[in-house]
């Protein structure tokens, strides 16, 4: 089956992407909603989660992506692979992550990954970047205490910008990592490493409420 063709970028501020998504229904999305949940924001074709769902089935996996045809294709591939611990949602995460995650019971979301988001290089496009203050706040609100946020990119200025946003929020403590500690690499990560280019990574852990 040929890969679905899509635009490389979509403008997250265009009217179509300002529509609110329905909150995730974990009972409908996962066969066993009591498993811990990993959320991958900006998952593209979702292959990282597909491999993770096979490699570590004790978790549930939720991918979020703004390019709708990729979400449809990824859900079809998950169903064909018989994976009932994997679901993808069409959502503009820079505007609507909070609404999407409203359906998730407290304590369930235990890990978040943000991997190689689009840099939107030009200054006039900075407002289109996926990771913003609201997203950091949303993650802090929904993540379980002790939950981890793994962030990686090959674009140095974007790493500085994203890491600074998490560092500025005192609900998180940084726990630096040199390597990707997951058993799977993303498609973009493999492409970057194949070219021997550097990758900037770190991890943040949500403090326990009593430590705040």
Ligand X SMILES: C[S@@+](CC[C@H](N)C(=O)[O-])C[C@H]1O[C@@H](n2cnc3c(N)ncnc32)[C@H](O)[C@@H]1O
- Residue 42 in contact with ligand X, rule: CB under 6 A: yes
Q: Which of 84, 98, 118, 194 is catalytic?
A: 118
Which residue, 56 or 187, is less far from ligand X as judged by CB? 187
CA–CA dist 136, 55 (Å, integer): 28
* Torsion angle in degrees (nearest 10) through CA of 49, 52, 56, 57: 40
Compute the distance between CA of residue 26 and CA of residue 23 in angstroms, rounded to an integer: 9
Phi then psi dihedrals of residue 202, to 5 deg: -160, 175
Check residue 189 for interaction with ligand X (CB under 6 A).
yes
Exactly one of 39, 112, 130, 140 binds ligand X (CB under 6 A); that residue is 130
Contact letters (x/-) for ligand X, 89-118, by CB under 6 A?
---xxx--------------------xxxx
Q: Is 137 a catalytic residue?
A: no
Distance in Å, CB of 177 to ligand X, minimum:
16
Residue closer to ligand X by CB (options 7, 209) is: 7
- CA separation for the pair 111, 209 (Å, rounded): 17
Residues in Cβ contact with 67 at an 8 Å cutoff, skipping those fewer than 6 apart: 6, 7, 10, 44
Binding site for ligand X (CB under 6 A): 12, 42-44, 64-67, 92-94, 115-118, 130, 186-189
């Amino acid at each position: 089956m040929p890969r679905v063709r899509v635009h490389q970028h979509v403008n997250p501020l265009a009217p179509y992407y300002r529509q609110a998504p329905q909150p995730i229904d974990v009972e409908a999305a996962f066969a066993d909603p009591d498993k811990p949940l990993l959320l991958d924001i900006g998952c593209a074709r979702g292959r990282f989660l597909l491999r993770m769902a096979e490699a570590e089935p004790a978790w549930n996996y939720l991918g979020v992506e703004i390019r709708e045809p990729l979400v449809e294709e990824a859900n079809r591939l998950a169903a064909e692979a018989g994976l009932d611990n994997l679901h993808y949602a069409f959502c503009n995460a820079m505007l609507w992550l909070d609404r999407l995650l409203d359906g998730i019971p407290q304590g369930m979301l235990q890990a978040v990954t943000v991997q190689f988001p689009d840099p939107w290089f030009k200054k006039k496009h900075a407002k289109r970047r996926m990771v913003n203050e609201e997203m950091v706040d949303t993650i802090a609100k929904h993540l379980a205490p002790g939950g981890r946020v793994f962030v990686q990119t090959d674009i140095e200025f974007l790493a500085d910008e994203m890491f600074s946003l998490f560092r500025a929020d005192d609900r998180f403590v940084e726990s630096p990592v040199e390597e990707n500690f997951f058993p799977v690499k993303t498609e973009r990560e493999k492409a970057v490493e194949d070219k021997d280019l550097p990758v900037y990574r770190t991890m943040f852990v949500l403090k326990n409420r009593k430590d705040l």
